[in-house]
């Protein structure tokens, strides 16, 4: 089984040069058989617009095969004001159109796509986690319904996780840490968007639980759901990625 991954830095494969930053899909591999091949096209800073404009989606289509699955997760950079990346989340806006374009092109190639809303940022108002994604998460959910494909609402699920974990205790899950802890970031870091290994681990486990349930509504995704070993995951085994440079076109890896 092959799983294509389209997204931004939250999903991107990270090597030791950016440790402890960890893409959550790296940890998701723990919940699937060792025979599963992951083609991770997600890259830092990309929105649906720049992913298309840079030719990255065409590279996805060049590699896509009948029978593949695809995980698609954008929004963090579509939300930004940068004209090279921004897309509007309104009905008829570029964000929804781009997602539909991804889905329809992939389905035409025989790929079974899954849309995911973005991971919540570690932002709190008082003791409650704050949703920072505005109308982008609802736009993803509505697009999935219109395209009749599965959607995993990771935004809602990770907001719930943050609320249960609390502000201080949740710091360990994100790239928010003091100086002197990591060689790659000697001065420390204050980043409440990207994940450390504990965060990628926790959020991948949440995603795996949802993937396990997809076939209940979408029987054509049975292979994906049945392959997911949520609750019986094997320890993650580090592998050498085929493309280890952070800015390569994509990274191929297996558990």
Q: Tell me how many domains the chain contains.
A: 1
pLDDT of residue 229: 86
* CA 119 – CA 210 distance, rounded (Å): 14
pLDDT of residue 251: 64
- 66-81 pLDDT per residue, tens: 999 999 999 989 988 8
pLDDT of residue 247: 43
**Residue 123: domain span:** 2-253
What's the CATH number where 13 sits? 3.40.50.1110
Please identify every stretch of the chain with a pLDDT value under 50, giving residue numbers as ranges: 232-247
* CA 210 – CA 200 distance, rounded (Å): 15
Residue 40's contacts (CB-CB under 8 Å, 6 or more residues apart) are: 5, 11, 12, 13, 23, 25, 250, 251, 252, 253
pLDDT of residue 84: 92
pLDDT of residue 196: 92
Residue 107's contacts (CB-CB under 8 Å, 6 or more residues apart) are: 113, 147, 149
CB 223 within 8 A of CB 208: no
Residue burial 64-79, b: 16+ Cβ < 10 Å; e: rest: beeebbbbbbbbbbbb
User: How many CB atoms sit inside 10 A of residue 219's CB?
Assistant: 9
pLDDT of residue 249: 59
């Amino acid at each position: 089984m092959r799983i294509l991954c389209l997204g931004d830095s939250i999903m991107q494969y990270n090597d030791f040069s950016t440790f402890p930053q960890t893409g959550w899909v790296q940890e998701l591999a723990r919940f699937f058989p060792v025979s599963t091949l992951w083609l991770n096209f997600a890259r830092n800073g990309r929105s649906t617009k720049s992913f298309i404009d840079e030719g990255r989606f065409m590279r996805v289509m060049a590699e896509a095969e009948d029978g593949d699955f695809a995980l698609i997760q954008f929004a963090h950079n579509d939300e930004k004001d940068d004209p090279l990346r921004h897309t509007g989340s309104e009905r008829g806006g570029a964000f929804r159109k781009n997602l539909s374009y991804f889905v329809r092109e992939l389905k035409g190639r025989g790929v079974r796509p899954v849309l995911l809303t973005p991971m919540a940022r570690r932002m709190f108002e008082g003791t409650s986690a704050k949703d920072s994604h505005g109308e982008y998460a609802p736009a993803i959910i509505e697009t999935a319904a219109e395209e009749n494909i599965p959607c995993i609402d990771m935004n809602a699920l990770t907001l719930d996780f943050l609320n249960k974990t609390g502000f201080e205790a949740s710091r360990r899950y994100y790239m928010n840490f003091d100086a002197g802890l990591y060689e790659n970031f000697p001065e420390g870091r204050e980043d409440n968007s990207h994940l450390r290994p504990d965060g990628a681990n926790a959020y991948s486990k949440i995603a795996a639980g949802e993937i396990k349930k997809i076939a209940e509504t979408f029987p054509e995704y049975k292979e994906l759901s049945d392959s997911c070993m949520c609750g019986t995951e094997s320890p993650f085994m580090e592998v050498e990625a085929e493309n280890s440079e952070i800015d390569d076109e994509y990274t191929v890896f297996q558990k």
